[in-house]
Amino acid sequence: MKIFRFVLTVSHFFIIVLLLGTLLNAYIPPKVFPWFNLLSLAFPVLMIMNVLMIFFWIILRKKRAFLFVMFSLILINPTRRWVNFSAKKAESPNLKIVTYNVKGGAVDVKLNYTYLEKQNADIILGQEYGSEFNIPGFENRTRDYEIVALNSKYKIVNQGKLTKTGNGNSFFADIDVNGKIIRFVNVYLNPFSFDKAQVKPGEDFETNSAKAKFIVKRLLPTFKVHQQEVAEIRTAIDNSPYPVILAGDFNSVPNSYEYYHLGKGLRDVFMEVGKGSSTSFHDYKFPIRIDYVFCSKEIKPVSYKVDRSVKVSDHFPVIAEFKIN
């Protein structure tokens, strides 16, 4: 029994080290060491294992439970990026946005457009929109930036392309929202382009080992591509003369390099006013959050919702409301 507890203790410390390793994504870029970014994908599983082990030590009344709890306190915010319980703010919103990867061309586009039209949003940011992104009732639309688009009920005073790398694309649009200009940045980072069959576990070790090697081989170079895209997108945020709302499909999970550096200096709206799970991509059984909304500190988030009632695309729409003074 003592040997078992010793092995379990060592394993628990190893899990804590891996979890803390995800924090290094805020400092170490993928081009230097991409493996920390890989850890961010495993964060939910590692955290669940950590919590279960803590309960195990508590049941056994071992003092080490207190030590592991203290380590876990460092990981409160990283965990809240996946699961959060902030209350909706008692404000009356005057701006509603939707960001949605519509998977255009692979699904019934009309169903997506019907859904979006019914949301009564002021601004809709679309990714993977296919051949067009023209929602009825929206008079102002961005130029053709391929893959990403924006429909607005407010006037677009300026817009520009930010990055086009592989199949990723991003742009900014400065929009006059009731007399106050807000810079909207619509992000679609280069995708990993996995097929379900490529990530679904097989029946034997050799198959799973080959799939794991293939996945890692695809992930690591894409992380490095993302680093370049993030640098280009940051110019539109850092040099913006206006408050910023950053949204879209990051093709990256919380606590990743992309999350830390795209959201630097901004507020994660889910952490501010979101409740429950932030999972936005449902094509795999593994919980994945890759769709986000961030905003400048001058903008007040009021509500955040991942709408799981619609499953036309492989992404859920993300709806956020703000108070613009």
Helices 35-59 + 205-238 axis angle, to 10: 110
pTM over 0.85: yes
**Angstrom distances, CA of residue 157 to CA of 127, 142, 306:** 21, 10, 29
Between CA 58 and CA 62, with CA 61 as vertex, the angle to 5 degrees is 90
Q: Which residue has the tokens 């679904």?
A: 200
Name the stretches of the chain with pLDDT < 50. none
Strands 148-152, 140-141: pairing is antiparallel
Rounded-to-integer distance, Cα 308 and Cα 152, Å: 23
What per-residue confidence (pLDDT) applies to 130? 76
251: left (phi over 0), alpha (psi -120 to 50) or beta: left
What per-residue confidence (pLDDT) applies to 105? 60
What per-residue confidence (pLDDT) applies to 300? 95
What per-residue confidence (pLDDT) applies to 196? 61
What per-residue confidence (pLDDT) applies to 107? 63
Burial classification of residue 320, based on how many CB atoms lie within 10 Å of its CB (0-12 exposed, 13-18 middle, 19 or more buried): buried
pLDDT in tens, 95-140: 999 999 998 766 677 788 889 999 999 999 999 987 788 898 899 9
